Each structure stands twice: as C-alpha cells, then as structure tokens.
Amino acid sequence: MATASTRTVDRALELLAAVTEEAPLSLSEAARTADLPPSTALRLLRSLESAGLVARDDDAQYRPGPRLLQIGARAFTREPLVALSRDAMEEVVAGTGESVYLAIHGPGETALYIAIVEGTHSVRHTNWVGRTVPLAESAVGRAFRGEVPAGEYTQRTHSVEPDVTALTSPVVVRGAVVGALSTLVPDYRCTDELAERCGRALVAATARIARALSGD
C-alpha cells in the first residue's frame, strides 16, 4: 500500500512539474511529458485541479493553479523577492518619478502589496504596503488572472481607488505569474505620455526581475 501511494505521489509530482515548466499543456501533452497513460494523467490532474495546484482554461489547456502560485511566491519568501526587485523598481522611479509597488498573489482572490519604492513627487499615492486589493476590477488583478501577457502592461482608472490611474505589468517565469509591478498615479498628473512612459518602464523592470528569478 505504501509503495502504491508513493508511486501515485511521484506521478502527480511529475505532472505538476510538466505543467509548471511547459504550460500551457493539453491532457495528451501532459501525459506524454510525464510518461503516463492519458487516463492516469486525467485522474491525477483532476485531483491537482481540485487542490488549486493546476488550472484548466476554456481551451482545456492546463496551467499552474492559484494555490501553486501562492506556494511559489512564499517559497521565494518576501525578502529575497523584494531584494531581487529593488534595482528594477528604482529604475522605474528614475524614469517616471512615480512610486512603484511590488505585489504577489494574496489570500483568496486578492493581490498583496509587499514593497514600494517611493516616487520623487511631493504629492504621491498613499503607501499601500501590506494592503490587499481584489483581483476583480483591478489592474493588478488582470495581471494575476493571466490577462496581461509577459512584456505588456495594463491600465485602469478609478478601479480600487477614485482619482487614481493604475498601470501594471506581470512578472512571468516559465509561463507563471509570480508577481507584478504597478504604478499608481493621481489622475491629474497621468497624461497619455506619462502613462506610456510608466508602462514601458514597468515592462522593462518586470522582464529584468523575471530573468533574475529564472537564472537567465
């Protein structure tokens, strides 16, 4: 019995590794990568999906699930992730003058702000480090829901807070969103030119962080 249980765990871990490293994967691709019969792979993937470790999209493709992303973010721990991100965040501030936040997937359907590099303007957004915001109807939520591809950014106005424009770019490592950088700019200052400059700076910074995390 112990041997059978251990073999099941080993197979599940092989599938989880395949989905983490090569997502998105169809059932047949995941089974082939893990060297498992499709029926066995389906049964294990359903268990992993129930646990939130993998997620299946509308095209029946498997990706890392929200629980796995939370575990991964915590495995980095906040301090090393912040340390790896600091220089890139400072470059955003240098190029835009705006404060920049680092966020990870928080509890439930939230994002958690874990670090800030303050901007240079006398009027700045209130420090939100330690605060969670809902994934629904927020720019950072779009990033963590996988709606913003690597190398791009999204912009939302008046979503979580009135009179503030949020711009966010995801940190994507091997197909998984492990964090996000955001600038939160008062509307009166957020011209089209500044928004585009913030977006470009965020994309460059998240790409730098992703390279550092992946060891490239």
Lowest average pLDDT, out of 2-11, 28-37, 95-104, goes to 2-11
Percent of the chain with pLDDT over 90: 45
Q: Is 117 exposed, middle or buried (0-12, 13-18, 19+ CB in 10 A)?
A: buried
Q: To 10 degrees, the CA torsion angle through 210, 147, 101, 187?
A: 140
Q: Please report which confidence band the pLDDT of residue 78 belongs to, taking 50, 70 and 90 as the band edges.
A: low
Q: Which amino acid is at 23?
A: A
pLDDT of 46 strictly over 70: yes
Mean pLDDT for the stretch of residues 87-109: 92
Query: pTM for the whole thing?
Result: 0.66
Mean pLDDT for the stretch of residues 36-57: 90
Q: What is the pLDDT of residues 182-191, one digit of tens each?
A: 999 988 899 9
Please state, rounded to an integer, the average pLDDT across all residues of the chain.
87
pLDDT of 159 strictly over 50: yes
β partners of residue 117: 100
Secondary structure of residue 91 in the 3-state scheme: helix
pLDDT of 126 strictly over 70: no
Where do the domains of the chain lie, and which CATH numbers do they carry?
A: 2-64 (1.10.10.10), 71-214 (3.30.450.40)
Task: Give yes or no for a contact between 63 and 146, defined as CB atoms under 8 angstroms apart.
Answer: yes
